[in-house]
Amino acid sequence: MLGNFSYKNATKLYFGDDSLKYLNGELPKYGKNIQLIYGGGSIKKNGLYDEIIKILKDNGKNIIEDGGVMPNPTVEKLYEGVKLARENKTDLLLAVGGGSCCDYAKAVSVSVNCDEDPWDKYYLRFEEPDCDIVPVGCILTMAGTGSEMNAGSVITNHSQKLKIGHVFGEEVMPKFSILNPKYTFSLPKKQMVAGIYDIFNHICEQYFSGEDDNTSDYIAEGLMKSVIHSSLIAIEDPEDYEARSNIMWTATWALNTLIAKGKTTDWMVHMLGQSAGAYTDATHGMTLAAVSLPYYRYIMPFGLEKFKRFAEEVWNICSEGKTDEQVANEGLLAMENWMKKIGVIMSLSELGATEDMIDGIAEGTFILEGGYKVLTKDEVKEIIKQSM
Ligand code: NZQ
Ligand code: ZN
C-alpha cells in the first residue's frame, strides 16, 4: 500500500547547455556577499570558474573565495567554511562542483548561525537546525549524488573514523541548481563511472524494500533502464550529449525524494560503503560498487520476489523453466557483468582497505531496518570480508 505522505521539492532546476545564463536571474534574489564554493581546481581548468566570476561581477556581487573542498568533505573544512561565512556575512553559498561541494555548502548553511558544534548536533545527534539557514545554490559539474535536488549532506570525520550523512528537511535543499551536461564532459572516466554506479545504487536502495505494488518501483525500473542504457554509450563516447544529459537527469531523479515515496527504503549498501569510505577515503561510488554484490547476494533470499522482478524487468531475464532463485541470481549476474563492463572497482582491497580494518568498518556501519533483512553485526562483518 502506498501509504500517506506529503510531497514538495523546493529546488528550482535549470537544465541544458545554456543553463548558466539563468544564474543572472537568481542572483538578484540574494544579498551582495556570495561565498563561491569549489573543489580542487577542475573548474579552473575547464573555464567554468572564469565564466561564473564574470557573471558574479556583472551582477555587482562581492565574491568570497571558498575553494579546496575535497572529495568526501571533512569536518575541519566545514569549520573553515563556517568561519569564512561568519566573517564575511555570506548571503548565498554558491557551490560549483559535484556532490562534495553541494553537501559541504548545505553543511555550512545550517552551521553559520548555529551556537553548537555542527558535527555533534547534526551528524552525531541527527538534530534538525533551529537557527537561520543561509541559502544554497548549486552549479553541478558531476552527475551522481543527487545532492543538487535533495537535502542530504555527508561529512567525514577522519579522527573519529566516521563518515555520516544527514538528510535534512526541505528547507535545506538548494534554492536552485544549474545542470549543464556539458560540464560533465571533463570528468575523468573513473569519476564518471563512479557517479553512474552511485545513481544506480540510489535507485536500488529505494527499490529493494517492500513487497507491495508501488508506483515508485515502476519509476525506479525506468530510471535503472535509462542509466544502464546511457552508461554503455557514455563509456564509449564520453562526449555524447544525449547520454550524458540522460545520466545527469537520472541522477537527479534517483535521489530527490520522489521514488522513496511509500517505501521503507534500505540504504544498507550506503551504510557499508560510507563506513569503508571513512577508513579509505575512497571514491564514494566505488565503495558502493565494492560492497553491493556480496550484500545483495546475501539478502536476496529474503526479498526473492523483488529480486526476481528486478531480473525480469531491468535485465530482461527470461524466467521460463527456471526457479525464482535461478532468475534472481541471473539478474544479479547481469548486474555484475554491467558493472564490469563500465569499469567500476568491485573490491574494498583495491580501494585501500586492509584486513585489519574489517572490524572497524563493521563497527562504523549503521544498521538500518527498512530493507529485506535486518543485519546483525556478524553479518555486516561477513559481508565486508566478502567485499575485500
Ligand atoms: O575537486 P575538483 O577539482 O572539482 O574535482 C572533482 C573531484 O576530484 C572531480 N570533478 C567534479 N566535476 C568535475 C571533476 N573533474 C573534472 N571535470 C568535472 N566536471 O571529481 C571528483 C569527485 O567529486 P565529488 O564532488 O567528490 O564527487 P561526487 O559528486 O560523487 O560527490 C561525492 C560526495 O557526495 C556524498 C558522498 O558521500 C561524497 O562525500 N553523497 C551525497 C549524497 C547526497 N547529498 O544525497 C548522497 C550520496 O550517496 C553520497 O553519499
Ligand atoms: Zn550514493
pLDDT digits (tens, 9 = 90+) for 157-168: 999 999 999 999
Residue 346 sits in the same domain as residue 211: yes
263 lines ligand 1 (CB under 6 A): no
Please check whether residue 271 lies inside any domain of the structure: yes
CATH number for the domain spanning 108: value is 3.40.50.1970
Query: pTM higher than 0.75, yes or no?
Result: yes
Strand pairing category for 162-167 and 152-157? antiparallel
Say if ligand 1 is within 6 A of residue 269 CB: no
Look at residue 9 and tell me whether its pLDDT is greater than 90.
yes
Assess whether the C-beta atom of 192 lies below 6 angstroms from ligand 1: no
Best of 11, 37, 42 for a ligand 1 pocket test (most atoms within 8 Å of beta carbon):
42
Indicate if 163 and 260 belong to the same structural domain. no
The answer as to whether 112 is a domain residue is yes
Are 243 and 146 found together in one domain? no
What's the gap in Å between 97 CA and the centre of ligand 1? 7
From 183, 203, 228, give the residue that closes a domain: 183
Residue 205 lies in a domain: yes
C-alpha cell at 112: 553559520
Rounded Cα gap, residues 341 and 362, in angstroms: 29
200 C-alpha vs ligand 2 centroid, how far in Å?
A: 9
Does residue 254 have a pLDDT over 90?
Answer: yes
Q: What is the three-class DSSP state of 65?
A: strand
Nearest Cα residue to atom 38 of ligand 1: 72
Tell the residue nearest (CA) to atom 18 of ligand 1.
Answer: 187
- By residue range, what is the domain housing residue 76? 12-183
Q: What span, in angstroms and rounded, lies between the C-alpha atoms of 377 and 76?
A: 30
Same domain, 350 and 274: yes
State whether 128 and 243 are in the same domain: no
- With a cut of 90, say whether residue 4 has pLDDT above it: no
CA distances from 216 to 42, 206, 256, 304 (A): 36, 9, 12, 19
Q: Is 287 in the pocket of ligand 1 (CB under 6 A)?
A: no
Kindly report, residue by residue over 274-296, the tens digit of the pLDDT.
999 999 999 999 999 999 999 99
Confidence of residue 322 (pLDDT cuts 50, 70, 90): very high
Residues with CB under 5 A from ligand 2 (ion): 198
Name the grid cell of 20.
548558466
Number of domains in the chain: 2
Let me know if residue 6 belongs to a domain: no
Residue 270 sits in a domain of what CATH number?
A: 1.20.1090.10
CA of 12 to the centre of ligand 2 (A): 22
Query: Do 265 and 344 share a structural domain?
Result: yes
Give yes or no: residues 135 and 171 share one domain. Answer: yes
CB 329 within 8 A of CB 319: no
- The Cα angle at residue 293 between residues 285 and 360, in degrees rounded to 5: 70
Are 139 and 99 contacting, i.e. CB atoms less than 8 angstroms apart?
Answer: no
Q: Look at residues 151, 183, 215 and tell me which one is the last residue of a structural domain.
A: 183
Closest approach atom of ligand 1 to CA 255: 45
What the block records as the C-alpha cell of 333 is 549476474
179 with 199, same domain: the answer is no
Same domain (yes/no): 134, 157: yes
- Only one residue has cell 567485499, namely 387
User: Rounded to the nearest 5°, which phi and psi values hold at 162?
Assistant: -135, 135
Same domain, 175 and 211: no
The answer to the question of residue 1 being in a domain is: no
Asked if residue 227 and residue 338 are part of one domain, the reply reads yes
Residues 6+ apart with CB under 8 A from 25: none
pLDDT 10s digits, 223-251? 999 999 999 999 999 999 999 999 999 99
CA distance 105 to 255: 18
Pick the atom of ligand 1 nearest to 43's CA: 4
Per DSSP, 61 falls in state -
Q: What pLDDT score was predicted for residue 3?
A: 78
232 and 341, same domain (yes or no):
yes
Q: Which residue has the cell 565494492?
A: 290
